[in-house]
Amino acid sequence: MKRPGQFRVGALMGLKQFVAQALGPYGCARASFAQEGEDIALDRLLEGQKNGFYVDVGCHHPFRFSNTYLFYRRGWSGICIDPLPGTAKLFGKWRKRDRVIETGVSQAPAELTYHMFDEPALNTFDAALAEERARQTRYRVVKSTKVPTDTLANILNRNASAVRTIDFLTVDVEGLDLEVLQSNDWQRYRPRIVLVECLSRDLAAIPGDPTARFLAEVGYVPHAKTGNSVIFVERPS
């Protein structure tokens, strides 16, 4: 779950200004473009790997709240997926190496209602979550519209069939993360690392989280937690 009050940056803010805000007044901090340091945790796990390939479902913005921009700056590339109209154009300006898919992800191809807030970080296909956020925050739904969706497996079949290794998959789709994972073909597409929200605050409770249970079924175990996100790795053989 993205917290829009942190690093509130409009889509029109230039990259230099954003980086300066991330680094702080002395310019000596290690820049993280993710919301809760997820990219730094991934980088540690990947041991500073210079080149690689990611899949970012719910990519939101080229560098704001981005789990992948740190890696893009290093020379990585990947597939970025988000249903928000205009995503492809914005990524085309800042991240030309990435392949951007402007669609939703669901367990089966469909057309679902997408609820868009005046804070895009809160956009969701989950009607109950949209109502809860409209009730409990100062943000409001400004538009609800039908959007085509597809399975992650189908999207990867069309766009990543020639990719030998997916180094990591990151999923942040505001309420339907488990459905995204369930829509993948785990026999064919097995990222080395999976980063996804698990809202359990108790570390001991993570294995019982529905998302963690599903990932255990397909061969992944928890490795680390940063705020609301959990990093999973393949179970050692």
Residue 154: the pLDDT is: 98
Has residue 177 been placed in a domain? yes
Residue 19: the pLDDT is: 56
Is 161:155 a contact under the CB 8 Å cutoff?
A: no
Count of structural domains, the chain: 1
Pairing between β-strand 168-171 and β-strand 141-150 as defined by DSSP bridges: unpaired
First to last CA, the chain: 32
Average pLDDT over residues 91-95: 96
Element containing residue 110 per DSSP (H, E)? strand 110-117
Has residue 123 been placed in a domain? no
22-31 pLDDT, tens digit each:
554 445 556 8
Q: What 8-state DSSP symbol labels residue 75?
A: T
Question: Which residues neighbour 8 within 8 Å (Cβ) at sequence distance 6 or greater?
Answer: none
Distance CA 30, CA 22 (A): 9
Has residue 229 been placed in a domain? yes
Q: 3-class SS at 195?
A: strand
The whole domain housing 163 covers: 32-107+152-234
Q: Does 160 score more than 90 pLDDT?
A: yes
Has residue 80 been placed in a domain? yes
Share the mean pLDDT of the chain: 89
Average pLDDT over residues 43-47: 95
Has residue 189 been placed in a domain? yes
Q: Position of tokens 């959007």?
A: 147
**HEC assignment per residue over 130-181:** HHHHHHHCCCCEEEEEEEEEECHHHHHHHHCCCCCCCCEEEECCCCCHHHHH
pTM over 0.85: yes
CB neighbour burial string for 207-237, b if at least 16 within 10 angstroms, e if fewer: eebebbeebeebebebebbbebbbbbbbeee
Has residue 137 been placed in a domain? no
Any idea what the CATH number is for the domain that residue 229 is in?
A: 3.40.50.150
105-153 pLDDT, tens digit each:
999 999 999 999 999 989 999 999 999 999 999 999 999 999 999 999 9
184-193 pLDDT, tens digit each:
999 999 999 9
Residue 6: the pLDDT is: 40
Q: 3-class SS at 21?
A: helix
Distance CA 47, CA 196 (A): 20
% of the chain exceeding 70 in pLDDT: 87
Has residue 226 been placed in a domain? yes
Has residue 193 been placed in a domain? yes
Could you tell me where the DSSP H helices lie in the chain? 15-23, 38-45, 69-74, 87-94, 127-136, 152-159, 177-182, 210-217
Q: What 8-state DSSP symbol labels residue 124?
A: B
